[in-house]
Amino acid sequence: MISSPAVLDTCRRCGNLILKAHSEGLAVRANPQPLDPRAELGAILAGQATYDLQPLGLPRKPYLWHRHHFRIAGKREWKVVADHRCPPGPHFPPPPGPPTPVFIPFAYSCPDQPPF
Ligand SMILES: [Zn+2]
């Protein structure tokens, strides 16, 4: 099954930013906002699929992996995003532009308050 790194694009219907990718052969359009466990449960109860956003390769690019029940039951290692759903109401999106490739920095900077 083909997987491709996620690119940042605008939704053709509502104009919001979305992550577009192929995840194990399926086309995915996901919201870029990460979810905490409570928001993930809400998204699943609303019928949305959730995805692990795993950085892979050099330079590191985000790949989306569908979170089935084995991944949900396991340890949360990556940021979790949910399927995109357009908000209700009329939309007047701007003309579409080219998608933006996303790279994740290899090393994160030091946090403001170190854990020691
Ligand atoms: Zn939309």
**Ligand 1 mean position to 113 CA, how many Å?**
37
Q: Structural domain boundaries of the chain?
A: 4-85
Q: What pTM value is reported for the model?
A: 0.83
What DSSP assignment string belongs to 16-39?
A: -EEEEEEETTEEEEE-SS-B-HHH
**Ligand 1 mean position to 24 CA, how many Å?**
22
Give residue-wise pLDDT tens across range 73-102: 999 999 999 999 999 989 898 888 899 998
pLDDT of residue 58: 83
**Ligand 1 mean position to 20 CA, how many Å?**
12
Instruction: Return the sign of the alpha-carbon dihedral for residues 105, 44, 83, 39.
Output: negative
Give residue-wise pLDDT tens across range 15-60: 999 999 999 999 999 999 999 999 999 999 999 999 999 999 888 8
pLDDT of residue 81: 96
Residue 112: pLDDT above 70?
A: no
**Ligand 1 mean position to 94 CA, how many Å?**
12
